[in-house]
A and B are shown apart, each in its own frame.
Chain A
Amino acid sequence: MLSKRIIPCLDVKDGRTVKGVNFVDLRDAGDPVELAWNYSQQGADELVFLDITATVERRKTMVELVKAVARQINIPFTIGGGINEIADADALLNAGADKISINSAAVRNPALIDQLAKAFGVQFVVIAVDTRNIDGKNIVHLNGGRLPTEKETLDWILEAESRGAGEILLTSMDHDGTKAGFDNALLKTVNHAVHIPVIASGGAGSVQHFVDVFEKTNVDAALAASVFHYGEILIPDLKNTLKENNIEVRLV
């Protein structure tokens, strides 16, 4: 059977891993390549690197980091942050990235999704969506959750899928950093509505939260950062608990 995936996310700034509470207060949590290698040894199924400041600061992507990671680790990884055009994606693909994650650039220019899917295949294109609930509606936000858009979250995800997104990385900004659990209601709705894999993000605080998100929403993967970086949840323990709950996982 196809396994549910556990994905540590490494937020990177200036070549170092950081993770902020609700994306604001940044803390240094180590060397991304060393962390990546450790996670691959622990049984992480995949890794995501996001340059969380790239959109605001218009920074170009981290080709050297991608090469260093690709040389060291033997599991797939996604890179996101500051990818605005085909040439950015091409450089990252050639540096060894398996997928790229696009957020603001896709909202501002949805045709970019079509172009990327046509050039590199849908499997290469992850659309990251930051969502926040405003007056009962789930609204897409940009710039690390700071800037609301006109788009409703589910509408945008369905548009992204139809344009050629191969996977959705959905982060609830209301839950992110709270350690109170994933946004299972929204995740369930989205996962039922699309035919591409969905990665749940935002709110992981305990092993039980991962059990809940897979049992209640049937998403394909769950992503977290600080609980892994600070050793609050160890991936082997997490996967053993998931297996005890009859959730299909890869044990190493």
Chain B
Amino acid sequence: MIGIIRYGAGNIFSLTATLDRLGIAYGMVHTEADLEQYDRYIIPGVGHAGAAMHKLEQTGLVPKIKVLDKPVLGICVGMQLLTSYSEEGDANLLDIVPVKTLRFKDSAEFKVPHTGWNQVFPEKNNKLFENIPPGSHFYFVHSYFIEYDEAYTLSSTTYTNKFSASIWLDNFYGVQFHPEKSGVYGETLLTNFSNI
């Protein structure tokens, strides 16, 4: 059963509605004691990465999250929290995956936030992308991205530059797009995570 880490960053109605539709069981993690009841976790997140990190720190869960050995999936800002640092708020983050979260450069050609459906190309073999063809579209809404890194990029997408659509290190996963809003392939990805 999935434990959703609750720390006050963003609404999770769409995520839980999707898990309900898929028949994936979940519960809420508010405290350290809640963590033990689950065999995998989702860190959701919308909004400002620096502010989200501040809220997560206030829960007291940070030391425990950093040493989790069960599968963890960060979504959007929840993914960015797994990285070392974000330019958004000049914030130090969980530093679980040693990469940085940077801002897209504004230009006439590329509007920021990067909003809409873009193609995702897996860079490694991993169960998270099982039954999802390379180049499938996922729904993105973000102004900050995680830099591309051969070691940690699980799948990539190109906007102003190539960036990490998802990252992977051991039991930690993150996706920049919103699987709960990404049609059938988003649902497939959440089902895959529930079976990792």
Residue ranges of A at the interface with B (Cβ–Cβ < 8 Å): 1-3, 5, 40, 45, 67, 70-71, 74-76, 93-96, 98, 120-123, 166-167, 192, 194-197, 220-221, 250, 252
Count class of interface residues, chain B: 35 or more
The 8 Å CB contact of B48, one of A94, A121, A221, A252, is A121
Does B183 make an interface contact (CB < 8 A)? yes
User: What chain B residues lie within 8 Å of A93 (beta carbons)?
Assistant: 11
> For residue B18, which residue of chain A has the nearest CB?
A74
Residues in B lying within 8 Å of A, measured CB to CB: 11, 13-14, 17-18, 20-21, 46-48, 106, 108, 111-119, 137, 139, 141-143, 158-159, 178, 180-184, 186-187
Contact indicator A167/B115 (Cβ below 8 Å)? yes
Count the A-B residue pairs with Cβ separation under 8 angstroms: how many? Answer: 85
Q: Is the CB of B13 within 8 A of A75?
A: no
B79 to chain A, nearest CB (A): 16
Question: Which residue of chain A has its CB nearest to the CB of B15?
Answer: A96
By secondary structure, the A interface counts as loop
Q: Could you tell me the distance between the alpha carbons of A5 and B115 in the complex, rounded to whole angstroms?
A: 10
Bound-state CA distance A75–B48 (Å) is: 23
Do residues B184 and A75 form an inter-chain contact, with CB atoms below 8 A?
Answer: no
A196 touches B17 (CB 8 A): no
- In the complex, which residue of chain A has the Cβ closest to the Cβ of B17? A71
How far, in angstroms, from A92 to B46 measured CA to CA in the complex?
Answer: 15
Determine whether the beta carbon of A2 is less than 8 Å from that of B14: no
CB of A164, distance to nearest CB on chain B (Å): 12
Is A75 in contact with B139, judged by CB distance below 8 angstroms?
Answer: yes
Contact of B184 (CB < 8 Å), options: A3, A71, A252: A252
Would A120 and B119 be within 8 Å (CB), given that A1-B158, A76-B139 are in contact? no
Structural contact, B113 and A96, CB atoms closer than 8 A: no
Known: A94-B11, A95-B13. A74 touches B184 (CB 8 A): yes
5 closest residue pairs by CB, A with B: A96-B13, A250-B137, A3-B117, A123-B141, A250-B117
Residue pairs across A and B with Cβ atoms less than 8 A apart, 24 shown, are: A1-B118, A2-B114, A2-B117, A40-B183, A45-B117, A71-B17, A74-B184, A74-B187, A76-B139, A76-B178, A96-B14, A98-B141, A98-B181, A120-B47, A123-B141, A123-B142, A167-B115, A196-B111, A197-B116, A220-B111, A220-B116, A221-B116, A250-B137, A252-B183
- A121 to B108 CA separation, bound complex (whole angstroms): 22
When chains A and B are docked, how far (Å) is the Cα of A40 from the Cα of B180?
13
| CA gap between A36 and B139 in the complex, in Å | 17
Could you tell me if B113 and A122 are in contact, using CB atoms closer than 8 angstroms? yes
Say whether, besides A1-B118, A121-B48, A70 and B113 are in contact (CB < 8 Å).
Answer: no
Contact at A1–B139, with CB atoms within 8 Å?
Answer: no
Task: Given contacts A70-B17, A71-B21, A195-B108, list 10 more A-B pairs with CB under 8 A.
Answer: A2-B114, A2-B116, A3-B117, A40-B183, A74-B182, A74-B184, A76-B139, A98-B141, A166-B115, A250-B117
CB-CB nearest in chain B for A66: B13
A115 CB to closest chain B CB, in angstroms? Answer: 15
Q: Is the CB of B183 within 8 A of A74?
A: yes
Interchain nearest-CB distance for B4 vs A (Å) = 15
